């Protein structure tokens, strides 16, 4: 399982991430630099949700143009915690993001069902588990099982503790992201240990 930390320009934090082999998540609403790391692209919908502002389509377009082709994956624009609005938003943006050529992840939000995104997953999209914290924690394993049955890439957003990393492992996620290491370099040892503990267990078994 791969850990992604929100992009930071702090040298100490970047050094800690690089030493642990983590990757970074570049947001459309942040600084558009990958700092020499492999990276995923976040569309910035979470920031807009937190700030109560409209989705910044211009910033997302700019990031697609500068970094889209080299991304591990791109999260198709969505609407946080609103299933119907999010599905409509993603459907509008899907052709544009597909044109970049990088793997795409469809964000699933509160109330979405497997049937809602099944056609896109059948077409090669992965799943990005977003939504409210309560819904995410309750839905992580069912979504992971569903993705595993279909061979779909599965990513879990906003993971900032060893406990949630263990949940991601149980859900068979391929990757997760968080801000803890971005803000506090000292947390990388504890969080990376949680990731590696499972890797060692799988190797021994």
Q: What is the DSSP string of the chain?
A: -EEEEE----HHHHHHHHHHT-EEEEETTS----TTS-EEEE-SHHHHHHHT----HHHHHHHHHHHGGG-S-EEPP--TT-HHHHHHHHHHHHHHHHTT-S-EEEEE-TT--HHHHHHHHHTT-EEEE-S-HHHHHHHHHHHHHHHHHHT--EEE----SHHHHHHHHHTT-SEEEESHHHH-GGGHHHHHHHHHHHHHHHHH-
Q: What is the pTM of this model?
A: 0.90
Q: In terms of pLDDT, which residue wins out, 37 or 16? A: 37
pLDDT at 184 over 70: no
What does DSSP say about strands 2-6 and 175-178: parallel, antiparallel, or unpaired? parallel
Per-residue model confidence as pLDDT tens digits over 128-165: 999 999 999 999 999 999 999 999 999 999 998 899 99
Q: In terms of pLDDT, which residue wins out, 80 or 188? A: 80
pLDDT of residue 195: 81
Does domain 2-204 fall into CATH 3.40.50.300? no
pLDDT of residue 186: 55
Give me the chain's average pLDDT, please: 91
Q: In terms of pLDDT, which residue wins out, 201 or 110? A: 110
Q: In terms of pLDDT, which residue wins out, 68 or 191? A: 68
């Amino acid at each position: 399982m791969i850990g992604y930390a929100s992009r930071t320009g702090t040298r100490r934090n970047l050094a800690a991430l690089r030493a642990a082999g983590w990757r970074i998540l570049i947001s459309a609403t942040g600084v558009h630099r990958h700092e020499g790391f492999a990276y995923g692209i976040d569309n910035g919908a979470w920031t807009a949700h937190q700030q109560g502002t409209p989705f910044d389509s211009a910033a997302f377009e700019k990031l697609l143009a500068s970094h889209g082709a080299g991304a591990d994956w791109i999260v198709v624009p969505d609407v946080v915690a609103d299933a119907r609005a999010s599905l409509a938003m993603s459907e509008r943006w899907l052709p544009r993001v597909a044109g970049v050529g990088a793997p795409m992840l469809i964000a699933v939000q509160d109330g979405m069902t497997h049937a809602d995104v099944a056609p896109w997953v059948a077409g090669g999209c992965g799943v990005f588990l977003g939504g409210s914290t309560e819904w995410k924690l309750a839905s992580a394993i069912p979504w992971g099982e569903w993705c595993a049955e279909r061979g779909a890439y599965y990513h879990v957003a906003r993971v900032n503790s060893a406990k949630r990393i263990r949940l991601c492992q149980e859900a068979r996620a391929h990757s997760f992201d968080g801000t803890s290491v971005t803000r506090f370099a000292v947390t990388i040892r504890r969080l990376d240990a949680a990731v590696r503990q499972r890797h060692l267990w799988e190797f021994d078994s």
